[in-house]
Every structure is written in C-alpha cells, then in structure tokens.
Structure 1
Amino acid sequence: MPEMALFDSIVSPVARIIDKVIPDPEARDRAKLELLKLENSQELELLRASLSPIVAEAASSDPWTSRARPSFLYVIYLMILWALPMGLIGAVSPVTAQAIGRSMAAYLNGIPEPLYALFGTGYLGYSAMRQWGKTRGSDR
C-alpha cells in the first residue's frame, strides 16, 4: 500500500491549495471530486512511475546519492548569497561592481539551457520528496 500513501501525500496538499485558490464552494467541490477520480486513472500511474526514481534515490543508503541534490542546492544558494558582497562592492566602487556583474552575466549566459532545466527539475523533485517525507513522518 505504499502507492496509496504516496497518493494521499499528494492529494492532501493539492486539496488545501484548491481550498485557498477556488472561492466558489461548488467549483471547489467539483475540483476535489476530479482530484479523487484521478486515483484510478492512468494519469496517477504515470505520476507514480515518474516519482519512483526520486523515491528510490531518497531512500538510498549511498551517501553520494542521498546528498547529491542538497549539495547542488547549496552551490546555488551560495551563488545567490554572493549578491550581499556585490552590494558592498557596488557601494564602494560602482564601476568595479558593474564590471563584476557583466562578467558574471556573461558566464551565466554561457551555461547551457538544459543545465538550468536540470537544476529546476532537481530542485522541485527534492522539495517534493522532502515534503512527502515530512507528511509520512520519516523526515524532520
């Protein structure tokens, strides 16, 4: 029955979103009914199949597999936090800050688009699996 737990962990947050997004009670109930009908549809099977590699990686005892996504996210966080010293550099020397900004923009524009897509996919997958683990009670 782990598939049912996965479905329940997906339906509950989506139902809460429906409650917040759809103001009309009748339309809200119809949306929730459609969500419940999804349980027996082919789309749910496709969703389960697409999430199974993420579930397997999250449950892996291999340290590299279980730490790869968080490590990649830390690199991205570091890049975002670089804005703080850049602000200080800009306050002291705007010309230097602009030169650094142009250089960084040129570098980031040189990164292939598929890598950005890979980051987005990894980030969303990691976030979804953390939320799933938290609702199951296995992650804190």
Structure 2
Amino acid sequence: MPLLDSLLGPVTRIIDKVVPDPEARDRAKLELLRLENSRELEMLQASLSAVVAEANSADPWTSRARPSFLYVIYVMILWALPMGMIGAFSPATAKAIGESMTAYLAGIPEPLYALFGTGYLGYAVVRQWGKAKGLER
C-alpha cells in the first residue's frame, strides 16, 4: 500500500518527537508496524479469496476464463519451438510463415482491436467498481 508506506516515515518521526519515553516510543512504532502488516495481510486475503471464488464458481465461463487465457499464452510461447526448428532447416519457410502471420494479424480491422480493448477494460473496471462497492466478491 503506497499510501501507508508514505505515511509510515512521518508518523514515526512524530512519535519520536511526541513520546518522550523510549519504551513507549518503541511500543508505538511496533504497533504501527503491526497495523501495516495486518492491512497488507487483509489485502492479500481479499485478493486471494476473489481468485479462489472465481475458480470454484459453478459457471464455466467464470471458472475457466483465467486458465483458458493462460493456455493461449502458453501455446503462443511454445509455438516458438517449431518455428525455431523450421528456421534452422529452412529460414525462407520460417520467414514466410512469420510474414503470413503478420499479414493475417494486420488484416484484422483496427476497430475490432479497439472493441476488444474497450470491452476488456470496461469489464475490468466494472468488476473493480463492484468489488469496491461490496456488490461482488
């Protein structure tokens, strides 16, 4: 939590100036650190509970969205292996495959990319807003 981190330094300096007893000062600083750690632990528990709730959801669209996205990324990364082999044996073929993939992706209309980005961003913002308002888990 950047806000709490930025407040910790000034608050400890204030404690040093206001509390004359060294033992009481150390207890106050320790309590301040305990407060920071408990808030971080609460934030971590909240974020993990949301992930677990989505994974345990009976709705297949909710429970499989993140793993499905990761599978797509894995396939894209693993595609480099056969492309490397093709490039080792036939650089011209690998270059042709890369150029055709680039041409295919460039052929997708820009408004479609914008629509996807807007939808994805809108979904994330609405989910975060719902969580902040306590309407969703």
TM-score by length of 2: 0.41
Larger C-alpha radius of gyration, 1 or 2? 2
Larger RCO (CA under 8 A, 6+ residues apart):
1
In the superposition, the TM-score normalised over structure 1's length comes to: 0.41
